[in-house]
Structure 1
Amino acid sequence: MQTNPASFLGIAAMMFVVGVSIPLMAALNGGLGRQIDSPYAATFLLFCFGLVLSFGLMMVNGGFPALAKFRGIPPYFYLGALVVVSYIASITWAGPRIGVGNAVFFVLLGQVVAAATVDHFGLLSAAQAAITPRRLLGIVVMALGVYLARKPV
């Protein structure tokens, strides 16, 4: 998959901002969960607000796709909802217990390993990119960085 350098930098910057927002979301939702004494209610509320916001984004960007587009989609593509709910619920629960930094660091480590695996095998229709010795070294260095950056519990 080829992307021109300007587009790549714009997308990379956007994803950096999203990455910055993840620990903020963990801290905010963890705080909400503590305030209402339920990380699961906080997760539910996050998704309620997210539903409204994503509906607005969808409407601004062309509305709901034609139903015909949903025919033939493998059911496993909808498992992303299970993944995001488990992530939000677990980070909301874990952040206040082990610290947002530790929780996010371990999520990051899992993401790096899973992303490399998905790319290597081209799983779930992802673009394929082999795990070369250089990429493997990068993963090991990132794992070491996560280990060094986490503070003792």
Structure 2
Amino acid sequence: MMPDPMKYALIMLAAGIGVPVLAALNAQLGARIGSPAAAGAVMFLIAGTAAVLVAAAFGQTSAFALIASQPKHLFLAGLLIAFYLLSISWVAPRFGVGNAVMFVLVGQIVAISVIDHFGLFGARVRPVDLTRGLGIVLLAIGVILAQRPPA
């Protein structure tokens, strides 16, 4: 049996692999139909359907009744994913999928550092000390260097 941290890491690795694939596929669909917004709407329709099916498969459909009573700021996540999808679908064909996703990664590195450091949104506090800060800076530099044009 695989330990939970390894299982979680593999799931998130797969999700990470999916991000540039999602970007490339949706950018291509948006370019082919002439509308990144329409391509995004189709993607959300498919994603929403898949999420409902997963909730049903795990017997979690009763959770839908609790949605209306939740703090409204939690629904900003939907706007953030819409912004991500629409921006990546529009930018990727113009800037390159690799460049677009790499800058998304830099943004994620900055955001996770702030969220973890201050424990925002209920996250476990993990302060940015010198070692972690250096690792974050090196990771960001690596992401940027990986997308530089060949010399």
Common fold: TM-score over 0.5 = yes
Superposition deviation, residue 67 in structure 1: 3.0
Of residues 10, 16, 25, the one that matches 1:19 is: 16
- Report which stretch shifted further, 83-92 or 143-152: 143-152
**Match for residue 106 of structure 2?**
109
Of residues 75, 81, 89, the one that matches 1:78 is: 75
**Match for residue 146 of structure 1?**
143
In structure 2, the CA distance between the partners of 1:55 and 1:144, relative to structure 1 (3 Å rule), is same
Superposition deviation, residue 74 in structure 1: 2.2
Superposition deviation, residue 107 in structure 1: 0.2
Deviations 1:92-115 (A, max 9, x none): 111111100000000000001100
**Secondary structure, counterpart of 1:128 in structure 2:** coil
Is structure 2 residue 121 aligned with structure 1 residue 124?
Answer: yes
- Report which stretch shifted further, 5-14 or 94-103: 5-14
| Count of residue pairs brought into register by the alignment | 147
Unaligned runs of at least 5 residues, structure 1: none
Q: Distance in 2 between matches of 1:26 and 1:67?
A: 32
In structure 2, the CA distance between the partners of 1:138 and 1:44, relative to structure 1 (3 Å rule), is same
**Secondary structure, counterpart of 1:64 in structure 2:** helix
In structure 2, the CA distance between the partners of 1:8 and 1:96, relative to structure 1 (3 Å rule), is same
Is structure 2 residue 57 aligned with structure 1 residue 60?
Answer: yes
**Match for residue 35 of structure 1?**
32
Q: Distance in 1 between matches of 2:34 and 2:77?
A: 27
Q: Distance in 2 between matches of 1:66 and 1:94?
A: 34
Q: Distance in 1 between matches of 2:34 and 2:120?
A: 39
Q: Distance in 2 between matches of 1:109 and 1:75?
A: 28
In structure 2, the CA distance between the partners of 1:46 and 1:137, relative to structure 1 (3 Å rule), is same
Aligned residue identity for 1:67:
A
**Match for residue 92 of structure 1?**
89
Aligned residue identity for 2:126:
A
Is the CA contact (8 Å cut-off) linking 1:58 and 1:64 kept in structure 2? no
Aligned residue identity for 1:20:
I
Superposition deviation, residue 57 in structure 1: 0.6
Q: Distance in 1 between matches of 2:46 and 2:64?
A: 24
Is the CA contact (8 Å cut-off) linking 1:33 and 1:42 kept in structure 2? yes
| Structure 1 segments of 4+ aligned residues over 4 angstroms from their partners | none
**Secondary structure, counterpart of 2:127 in structure 1:** coil
**Match for residue 6 of structure 2?**
9
